[in-house]
């Protein structure tokens, strides 16, 4: 009998090792661009902060996924039929912060569990 789990794990690891994500590739193109390019690409920031001539623009992305439980009813046991596990709620977020100096994007940082 084949075991699909090791094959699935190998495929997932291979997908993670293929290089930068599409998000990083898109954001890398903004480095060296004027502030207006960030606004045009990402929209109005959720937060901004300015200190010592450097402006930080923060974009906060949130998503909630609902994963329904798998329908399962096992054989009758001591207390009757076994119930399915409860559904799962997964919260995803990715915060992107751009560093702007002299009106030009110098760098960006990504934080969260949904950035890659």
Residues forming beta bridges with residue 99, ordered by sequence position: 56, 107
Which one has a higher pLDDT value, 11 or 89? 89
- Residue pair 64/45 in contact (Cβ under 8 Å)? The answer is no
Judged against a pLDDT cut of 90, whether residue 79 lies above it is answered with: no
What number of other Cβ atoms are within 10 A of residue 62's Cβ? 11
Percent of the chain with pLDDT over 90: 59
Judged against a pLDDT cut of 90, whether residue 74 lies above it is answered with: no
**Whose structure tokens read 């906060």?**
60
Rounded to 5 degrees, φ, ψ at 40 are -65, -40
* Confidence bin at 116 (pLDDT 50/70/90): confident
Judged against a pLDDT cut of 90, whether residue 55 lies above it is answered with: yes
* Confidence bin at 5 (pLDDT 50/70/90): very low
Structure token pair of residue 100: 């702007």
pLDDT given for residue 9 in this prediction: 45
Judged against a pLDDT cut of 60, whether residue 62 lies above it is answered with: yes
Say what the pTM is. Answer: 0.69
Neighbour-count burial of 3, counting CB atoms closer than 10 A to its CB (0-12 exposed, 13-18 middle, 19+ buried): exposed
């Amino acid at each position: 009998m084949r075991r699909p789990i090791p094959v699935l794990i190998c495929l997932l690891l291979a997908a993670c090792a293929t290089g930068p994500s599409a998000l990083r590739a898109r954001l890398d193109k903004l480095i060296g661009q004027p502030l207006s390019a960030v606004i045009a690409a990402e929209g109005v920031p959720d937060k901004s902060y300015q200190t010592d001539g450097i402006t930080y623009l923060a974009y906060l992305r949130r998503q909630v996924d609902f994963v329904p439980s798998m329908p399962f009813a096992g054989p009758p046991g001591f207390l009757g039929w076994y119930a399915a596990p409860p559904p799962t709620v997964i919260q995803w977020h990715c915060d992107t912060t751009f560093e702007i100096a002299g009106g030009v994007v110098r760098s960006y940082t990504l934080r969260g569990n949904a950035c890659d």
